[in-house]
Structure 1
Amino acid sequence: MPTPLVFVYNADSGVLNGLRDLWVKTVAPERYDCPLCAVTYGPLGMHRRWRDFTCALRRDVTFLHRDELRAQYGLSGVPLPCAFELTPGGPRVWLSAEQLRAARTTDDLMALVRARAEQDR
């Protein structure tokens, strides 16, 4: 059975943080620090194409913010955004920040995830 995946945004959780992120993405997108969020979220929430794609991966997929990563797994100082697989030994990097930052569009991101998932088969 494939291991669960956790995608971690380079942003903190909460309504005020979400509003700030939306404002920065809209007014000064070049200053926004989370390319994962930039290509997967719009003003009304997660893009349906991305949500449908992750549901079709046939693995449990969850999404966390960096403060939630610290709270749930005790991890900090990890370059973000990042995707982890949850192994019996603990979270292990599945897609690095460098790889995720290279995905400029939702299509790029889906191709990256598809290619990485193929390596696991």
Structure 2
Amino acid sequence: MVETGGRLIFVYNAGSSLFDKITDFTHKIISPATYSCNLCMITFDSLGMKKEWADFIKTLSPPPVFLHKDEFAEKYPALAQGPFPAVFLEKEGQLGLWITPAEIASAGEVDGLKKLVLEKTGMPGK
């Protein structure tokens, strides 16, 4: 298990409504270069969450939370403006930005994002 030192909250730069999901799915196929959620692009394909990513997040302790930006805004109104996509760390009742949108974008693929998470936890990259 990879101890993260608190609960990781992954926030997609996408809404949770059915309309948002259909729009995002279509946008990723038609114009992936202009799609605004690198976290979605890295961790999902047209069939759902990529197996390599799904397997990796099972190793994180405590288990991470995944929210769309509207769900995050509802739960954490003080941080409703983002930045998104991002990863926040919730520790001892405090919430802070842990991985920025730029870091997610530069990760580029599942292996890069896994390596980034491991580096942030102090674990050696695989």
- Stretches of structure 1 that go unaligned for 5 or more consecutive residues are none
Q: 1:12 aligns to what? A: 15
TM-score normalised to structure 1 length? 0.91
Residue 96 of structure 2 is aligned to residue 92 of structure 1: yes
Q: 1:111 aligns to what? A: 115
- Stretches of structure 2 that go unaligned for 5 or more consecutive residues are none
Q: Distance in 1 between matches of 2:74 and 2:122?
A: 31
Tell me the secondary structure at the aligned position of residue 63 of structure 1.
strand
Residue 67 of structure 2 is aligned to residue 77 of structure 1: no
RMSD of aligned alpha carbons: 1.4
TM-score normalised to structure 2 length? 0.87
Q: Distance in 2 between matches of 1:88 and 1:117?
A: 16
Identity %: 33
For these two proteins, the number of residue pairs brought into alignment is: 119
Q: Distance in 1 between matches of 2:105 and 2:95?
A: 20
Q: Distance in 1 between matches of 2:93 and 2:65?
A: 18
Judge conservation of contact 2:73–2:81 (CA < 8 Å) in 1: no
Q: Distance in 2 between matches of 1:41 and 1:15?
A: 17
